[in-house]
Amino acid sequence: MIVLGIETSCDETAAAVVTDAREIRADVVLSQLDDHTPYGGVVPEIAARAHLEHLDGLIRRAMDEAGIGFGDLDAVAATGGPGLIGGVIVGVMTAKAIAAARGLPFVAVNHLEGHALTARLTDDVAFPYLLLLVSGGHCQLLAVEGVGRYRRLGTTIDDAVGEAFDKTAKLLGLGYPGGPLVEKAAARATNPARFDLPRPMLGRPGCDFSFSGLKTAVRRHVEELGGVLSDADRDDLAAAFQATVAEVLADRCARAIRRFKEDHPQGGALVVAGGVAANKAIRSRLSTLAEKQRMPFVAPPLRLCTDNAAMIAWAGIERFRLGESDPLNFAPRPRWPLDPTAAPVIGRAGVGAGVKA
């Protein structure tokens, strides 16, 4: 089975060709970083226009790299949400057009499910497993019990962790996107224990997260330094922030592991996915936790942690081989929760509803 995947939910335009033998024949991603950096974040209208301008060319490139024509495809999969609705519409309409013109099945993929199932593409991870999904718009712990079967154990009650990285980077004057820049600054720190930051929710019951107070604490330290930071100030504060996030994530995961094992005594892997999963310090902390809990630890390759179309193609394969596809009147969704039974988060309905910030 060969599936074309399309991803346009945020600020990466991507196309990929993947087979059910877990072979990525092509994986093309065009970043819009230069378009959005002057604004310090993603501008939805600029993102949608860029998707519209570049998507056709990226699909042609992916098909050429895979060495196939449209007649060789078995299905077309595209992100149907959640995300910036203008970009989602571009990808969905393009996929529908290909499907209609070639008589192919169309599969609308939940972007979060793409991240959730990436470990099955890269490592053939068996169900069930515990997933920490961490990105710019999401921070959730989920029991992944099958394709389309996700049970949320915890989520953020305010900022997503990737959002906290971006805001901290802005406070430190590092630029955008925040995650890689904070990680680089932290690696240069000479006194990473210099700043004492709060550990939100650490040791608290449940598996929820909170990062708003941490971001506020970083701002206070910046203000105490007079708002003018030396390189050492910037690097040490970045290191303190990153270490705090890693500690909080590990604490919340430890609690989720206990709940997961109660429901699944046969065990399963601890999987981390999403853009923040590319952070090496966080990976290391979670790997150590998994080892202590005697659980396999799986983190996809760095290039498959950030938004990409290979994960969308694979999620399409997972659904299509179960006999699932979508009609051509499918409506793109700005919100699409993986666990629709989970209670919405008071004060942050977007995260509860699965919105991609």
Establish whether 263 is an annotated binding residue: no
Establish whether 251 is an annotated binding residue: no
Establish whether 115 is an annotated binding residue: yes
Establish whether 166 is an annotated binding residue: yes
Nearest one of 271, 256, 235 to 122, comparing CA atoms = 271
Establish whether 307 is an annotated binding residue: yes
Cα dist. 186→195, 241, 242, 309, 328 in Å? 12, 9, 7, 30, 47
Establish whether 133 is an annotated binding residue: yes
Establish whether 329 is an annotated binding residue: no
Q: How far is CA 336 from the centre of its chain?
A: 14
Establish whether 275 is an annotated binding residue: no
Establish whether 264 is an annotated binding residue: no
| Beta-bridge mates of residue 75 | 3
Establish whether 212 is an annotated binding residue: no
Distance CA 286, CA 254 (A): 9
What one-letter code names the amino acid at 109? V
Distance CA 168, CA 220 (A): 11
The total number of residues written for the chain in this structure:
357
Nearest one of 140, 120, 75, 88 to 345, comparing CA atoms = 140
| Beta-bridge mates of residue 110 | 81
Kindly report the number of other CB atoms within 10 A of residue 278's CB atom: 21
Indicate the annotated binding residues.
111, 115, 133-137, 166, 179, 183, 279, 307
Indicate the annotated binding residues for Fe cation.
111, 115, 307
Indicate the annotated binding residues for substrate.
133-137, 166, 179, 183, 279
